[in-house]
Amino acid sequence: MATTNDLKNGLVLNIDGQLWSVVNFQHVKPGKGGAFVRTTLKNVLSGKVVDKTFNAGVKVETANVDRREMTYLYYDGSDYVFMEPDTFDQVGVSPAVVGDAANFMLENSSVVVARHEGEPLYVELPASVELEIEHTDPGVQGDRSTGGTKPATLVTGAEVQVPLFVGTGEKVKVDPRDGRYLGRVNK
């Protein structure tokens, strides 16, 4: 248990049997009436975002979420298999839990797997990943109708928009949260 004074971004709360992650919070002290805390919460499993207000000092139940760095090994057809680097224990995580992160994971890459009571909740990738472009059409000089970008398919199968000068076989940095091109990787 914690009070509303202990709230911080990333803290996971157990509200009515569901797990909610604190995305944003703000302590409000109006001139009239009692203080309160306005929060934005994201459901850990479904991704639904809601706004919730708590009175100041109210106790809230926190969930014990174990976030561990693991190595992605392979996809076995039904689950994504991750390994703990210290103990070599392997954990299978369903595609529903992995979600869009699968588009940007390479074998043997490090990711963070969050679990609650042994049950995987979500997979978190680093802020940027470096992936090779498997195929993209050559950029045509003077073709600026698309704002100077073209589609490119990465080695993982994900499609991202890249500038016209980027070619097949080059490594690029991509933001895995929204699939945005961040830049080329120098060799």
Q: What is the pLDDT of residues 86-141, one digit of tens each?
A: 999 898 988 888 888 888 998 898 999 888 888 888 888 888 899 999 998 887 66
**Confidence at 143, pLDDT banded by 50, 70, 90:** low
Instruction: Determine contact, residues 54/4, Cβ cutoff 8 Å.
Output: yes
Question: Which run of H or E residues covers position 98?
Answer: helix 95-98
Instruction: Identify the residue with better confidence: 46 or 50.
Output: 50
For residue 173, pLDDT beyond 90: yes
Instruction: Determine contact, residues 35/19, Cβ cutoff 8 Å.
Output: no
For residue 21, pLDDT beyond 90: no
Determine the pLDDT at residue 147.
65
Buried b (16+ CB within 10 A) or exposed e, 78-89: ebbbbbeeeeee
Instruction: Identify the residue with better confidence: 83 or 139.
Output: 83
In the chain, what percentage of residues exceed pLDDT 90?
Answer: 22
For residue 146, pLDDT beyond 60: no
- Ramachandran category for residue 179: left, alpha or beta (phi over 0 → left; psi -120 to 50 → alpha): left
Instruction: Determine contact, residues 86/79, Cβ cutoff 8 Å.
Output: no
52-56, 139-143, 151-155: which range is least confident on average? Answer: 139-143
Summarize the confidence of residues 66-93 as an average pLDDT.
90
pTM to 2 decimals? Answer: 0.72
